[in-house]
Structure 1
Amino acid sequence: MSRATETLPSDYFAGIYASDTDPWQFTTSTYERDKYAATLACLPRPRYRAAFEPACAIGVFTRALSERCDRLLASDLIPAAVEAARARNADQPTVEIRQGAVPANWPEGLFDLIVLSEFLYFLDPRDLAEVVRRVGGAIEPGGDLVLVHWIGETDYPQSGDQAAESFIAQAASFAGLMHQDRTDKYRLDVLRAGASR
């Protein structure tokens, strides 16, 4: 299977959402349900002050994560996904959903939790390096980073393992690996930002 060589364009995802409002079965998939539970279970702290979840899709995990956060900012590239995420989290006053691409539309501010779930492999190496740089400037000292990625075959610019390992290596100057977990379908990596950078 040949891989895409550049970051997947917005048209790719817009086309997917045009034909299915829940294209990855976020609301019904056993894989997604189990992955969400494992992601929440791996969080080192019971609660976070301010979290960021880019590529939130239709906001299913966003809603679950919001229970652990005083404030949660989530974003997605596709307007239809943003609308669905806003509707799903409309009764959650601590959740804000924005439309925007990552890394181009990275938000201002500092976060003590950043969750990068199932999207780093959509990025080419240059854009992944820019995400690492943005994360480095946005994570508070002592803050946590969570990477979650499917490890099956894809034609994305990078595999789940390649994307995660590349992120971890490039983030070594500001964050160290705390925990890793791997199933036959996905990997979970938890990093913590250093106290001094």
Structure 2
Amino acid sequence: MKSNTAYDQEYFDALYALNQGDPWQYEQRWYEQRKRQICLALLPQLRFESAIEIGCSNGVFSQELAQRTDSLMCLDANDTAIQLARQRLHTYPHVQVLQRIVPDNLPKQKFQLIVVSEILYYLNPTALDQVLTWLHTALEPGGCILSCHWRTPISGYSLNGEDIHQYLKVHLNYTHHLSLQDSDFLVDLWLNTAQSVAELEGLR
């Protein structure tokens, strides 16, 4: 059983060392490509002025988010992940890649888009509560939170995607806009507005 601290450095160092900087094979697996495209398609806006991705890993999804944002902040705690993300994103001047241990040092500003995916089941309950508190202050009016997590239990960790998304549905004080339940992963979207996408575009 992992120590279940806010960040298990040895666990992630080993993952990146054994898998040549891509522990989840983001670039090779169709599963990962498909999941990214589903998440992008569910976003309620084509473009966002400001966005943050918590747990950016090696920056594969970040690169796609960068093409739909005017300003993007990417956070990860792992040394290798940060180096790879910076290499991948160096041609995008509007992207910041910062090494941060969540929930420590989360930014004070607000964002139109918050992506918090494939990370929350690695946190202990205290850290999870701290992220929730931050989410309640970090979303711009009209903004959205996208969360996507693997449904299968992760060896050594007590929480899984089902637990995380149920927790968020109960405790997030925003409009729950949609859920997608794939056999392998869950996606949920919250909006800081009561209006639908059609209403926002004057169709209703």
Common fold: TM-score over 0.5:
yes
What's the CA shift for 1:188?
Answer: 0.5
After superposition, residues 173-188 of structure 1 pair within 5 angstroms as 175-188=174-187
User: What is the match of residue 193 of structure 1?
Assistant: 192
Distance change >3 Å, CA 161–CA 167, structure 1 → 2:
same
Aligned equivalents of 2:140 and 2:158: distance in 1? 29
Match of 1:127? 127
Secondary structure in 1 aligned to 2:143?
Answer: strand
Verify the 8 A CA contact 1:129 1:170 in the aligned structure 2: no
Task: Name the count of aligned residue pairs.
Answer: 192
Contact 2:5 2:123 in 1 (8 A): yes
Q: 1-side partners of 2:161 and 2:2: how far apart? A: 13
Asked whether the equivalents of residues 7 and 157 of structure 1 are also in contact (C-alpha less than 8 Å), the reply is no
Is the 8 Å Cα contact of residues 7 and 102 (structure 2) preserved in structure 1? no
Partner SS, residue 172 of structure 2: helix
User: Which of the pair has more CA radius of gyration?
Assistant: 2
Per the alignment, residue 100 of structure 1 pairs with 100
Runs of 4+ in structure 1 off by over 2 angstroms are 2-8
Runs of at least 5 residues in structure 2 that lack an aligned partner in the other structure: 195-204
Structure 1 unaligned regions, length at least 5: none
Residue type matched to 1:89 in 2? L
What is the aligned partner in structure 2 of residue 75 from structure 1? Answer: 75
Q: 1:41 to 1:122 in 2, by over 3 A?
A: same
Task: Using structure 1 for the length normalisation, give the TM-score.
Answer: 0.92
Kept after mapping to 1: 8 A contact 2:39/2:187: yes
CA-CA distance at 1:153 after TM superposition: 2.6
What code does the residue aligned with 1:160 have? Answer: G
Moved more, 153-162 or 182-191: 153-162
